[in-house]
Amino acid sequence: MSTFCIGVHDMATGRERRTVALDTVGCKLNQAETELMAKQFADAGYQPVTVTGEADVYILNTCTVTHIADRKCRQRLRLVRRQNPGALIIATGCYAERAHQEIARIAGVDLIAGNKHKPHLVKLVEKTAGPGGPATSDACSGDYIGPRTRAFVKVQDGCNSSCAYCIVPLVRGGESSLPADQIIVEVKHRVSLGYQDVVLTGTKVGSYRYDGVGLAELLQRILSETGVNRLRLSSLQPPEISPVLVALWRDRRLCRHFHLSLQSGSDSVLRRMKRVYTTGEYQRAVSLLREMVPEAAITTDIITGFPGETAAEFEQSYELCRRLDFARIHVFPYSPRSGTGAARLPQPVAASVKRARSERMLALAAAGALSFRWRFLSRKMSVLWEKRAADGVWSGLTENYIKVYTRSDEDLTNQLLPVTVTEMWGDGVWGSTDS
Ligand code: SF4
């Protein structure tokens, strides 16, 4: 087992404070949970530090949604052990839940803790590190690491669906939502820390329900009871899109960005995937969003090469994506996750075919993203500036999720400023803050 070796000298107490670095692979729900863990460690007296520096404790919140996510987690754990030989290294999250034996084979991982252990990680670290807890300091209580621009707040966890390709219900369990009062407190807390943009996350945010309060009522309460400037949802499913819900977007604090996973544009593939909507229902949801929230960015996920996906089924998928003209498409070549229904199906789609289909879909995605950004040329948009790169160029996000770049000598961090879009720029647009 590694021992603690580094500490930050606390001027207020004259004691050493242990440092903790929290790192995340995966979805916005994981990011929200990492933020919660950061708060728990800060409250227990730990000093949060960046993942690129040295730390007494390094925690990786892992993801297992694809084999690529698994590999990324393993690589990151090995790298951290090489760079940080004295740290206590902990793997938690979905990969730790699903395949702790695989992580246990990585030399130098001290502790593997599944999702249910996340709320108790401080205690587990104390137990693993031996007696003598960290020095505590009120000064760091409630501290977070990183720029306070966008916060992730968990509202829900788990999933009662059984999409054939998905490992998530197995590692996250059934649906459960958090009380609205607790979420309001959490959002207010983030606002008081300076966050401008709050993302509500969960495995299936649209199925939020606690004590008779559904997602629409939750959003209404957050808008009326907190001072949040921007509020986003991580993702929704077509059956969850209703006129009552979408009418809430009249409040401009609700960001005009909807992530609506399609997965396939072929009804026969959707049936085999055990998705709960048809392409017709999906298109109706998109039409409603476009009618009621013009200029919204609608983004999606597509799986290529699902077991048995024929050339004709892929063409249907491609054609629907072309017609729906998404602002962004995340393309995933299908990879079997053991324990899922789809992994037990015959796997006739060759890797080369999956690759070719993914490439076509990615080219379509790039064209759609560019044409979406073009619509805003010469327009004035509100940008939340997040960070400055080494070359002095700032980047930030519009409410409809367009990345904007500009050059400024001022510190723009966390400022919400109007900009005029002047040209296309890399994966985003260039904005002028002068006018
Ligand atoms: S809805 Fe389907 S894809 Fe989404 S988490 Fe649940 S099982 Fe997985």
Q: 147-234 — its CATH code?
A: 3.30.750.210
When the pLDDT of each residue in the chain is averaged and rounded to a whole number, the result is: 89
Q: Is 168 in the pocket of ligand 1 (CB under 6 A)?
A: yes
In order of 245, 296, 318, 352, 362, the CA distances from 289 in angstroms are 10, 8, 21, 36, 24
Measured distance CA(293)–CA(149) in Å, rounded: 24
Q: What is the pLDDT of residue 67?
A: 87
Measured distance CA(168)–CA(64) in Å, rounded: 8
Do 355 and 333 touch, CB atoms closer than 8 A? yes
Q: Is the pLDDT of residue 11 over 80?
A: no
Where do the structural domains in the chain lie, given as residue ranges?
Answer: 8-140, 147-234, 260-375, 380-432
In order of 175, 333, 343, 381, the CA distances from 160 in angstroms are 6, 24, 19, 39
Q: What is the pLDDT of residue 147?
A: 56
- Tokens, residue 351: 């890797």
Q: Is 203 in the pocket of ligand 1 (CB under 6 A)?
A: yes
Instruction: Give the rounded percent of residues in the chain with a pLDDT score beyond 70.
Output: 91
Please state the rounded mean pLDDT for residues 200-227: 97
Q: What is the pLDDT of residues 155-173, one digit of tens each?
A: 999 999 999 999 999 999 9
CATH of 8-140, picked from 3.40.50.2300, 3.30.365.10, 3.30.1360.70, 1.20.120.1200, is 3.40.50.2300
Q: What is the pLDDT of residues 247-264, one digit of tens each?
A: 999 999 999 999 999 999
Q: What is the pLDDT of residue 119?
A: 87
Q: Is the pLDDT of residue 124 over 70?
A: yes
Measured distance CA(259)–CA(63) in Å, rounded: 19
Q: What is the pLDDT of residues 343-376, one digit of tens each?
A: 999 989 999 999 999 999 999 999 999 999 999 9
- Tokens, residue 417: 């400023």
Fold of 380-432: OB fold (Dihydrolipoamide Acetyltransferase, E2P) (2.40.50)
Q: What is the pLDDT of residue 391?
A: 82
Q: What is the pLDDT of residues 269-298, one digit of tens each?
A: 999 999 999 999 999 999 999 999 999 999
Cα 70–264–400 angle (5° rounding)?
Answer: 80
Measured distance CA(330)–CA(269) in Å, rounded: 18
Measured distance CA(418)–CA(185) in Å, rounded: 29
Q: What is the pLDDT of residues 380-422, one digit of tens each?
A: 999 999 989 878 899 999 999 999 999 999 999 999 999 999 9
The alpha-helical segments, DSSP class H, found in 89-179 are 94-98, 100-104, 121-129, 168-172
Cβ neighbours, 10 Å, residue 162:
12
- Strand partners for 20: 48, 57
**Does the fold of domain 260-375 match that of domain 147-234?**
yes
DSSP character string of 166-202 = --HHHHH-S-EE--HHHHHHHHHHHHHTT--EEEEE-
Which of 175, 204, 234, 235 is the pocket-test mutation for ligand 1 (most atoms within 8 Å of CB)? Answer: 204
Residue with tokens 């369990």: 173
Measured distance CA(114)–CA(129) in Å, rounded: 18
- Tokens, residue 72: 């990324």
Cα(274) to centroid(ligand 1), Å? 10
Q: What is the pLDDT of residue 130?
A: 54
**Strand positions, DSSP E, 255-296:** 257-259
Lowest mean pLDDT among 3-12, 91-100, 165-174, 213-222: 3-12
Cα(260) to centroid(ligand 1), Å? 12
Residue with the bigger pLDDT between 148 and 50: it is 50
Measured distance CA(311)–CA(305) in Å, rounded: 9
Cα(320) to centroid(ligand 1), Å? 21
Q: 260-375 — its CATH code?
A: 3.30.750.200
Q: What is the pLDDT of residues 29-63, one digit of tens each?
A: 999 999 889 889 988 989 888 887 788 999 999 99
